[in-house]
């Protein structure tokens, strides 16, 4: 089953920059896209990553060791997905 992970562009870039280019996490992240949305401060960029639940769990495990904030965003998406 597919899940859409959304996170700040900053956290996305941080994860992407810390991935090994041959890893499965890199392949999952590189398939993501950036979306520019209106916000109270003008515009914000949000990364959107469509992946299956296994890939999302792998991203979460990777993010835990790299960026607490990114891990929290991924966990939030997984939690919302499980509640549906």
Written as one string, the DSSP assignment of 2-45 is EEEEEEEHHHHHHHHHHS-TTSHHHHHHHT-EEEEEEETTEEEE
Note the pLDDT tens digit of each residue in 17-69.
999 999 999 999 999 999 999 989 899 999 999 999 999 999 999 999 999 99
H or E element that contains 35:
strand 33-39
Radius of gyration of the chain, Cα coordinates, nearest whole angstrom: 12
| Over residues 65-80, mean pLDDT | 95
**Global confidence as pTM:** 0.89
Domain that holds residue 51: 2-83
């Amino acid at each position: 089953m597919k899940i859409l992970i959304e996170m700040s562009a900053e956290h996305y870039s941080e994860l992407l920059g810390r991935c090994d280019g041959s890893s499965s996490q890199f392949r999952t992240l590189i398939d993501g896209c950036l979306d520019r949305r209106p916000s109270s401060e003008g515009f914000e960029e949000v990364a959107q990553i469509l992946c299956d639940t296994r890939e999302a769990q792998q991203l979460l495990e990777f993010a835990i060791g790299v960026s607490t904030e990114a891990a929290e965003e991924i966990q939030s998406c997984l939690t919302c997905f499980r509640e549906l």
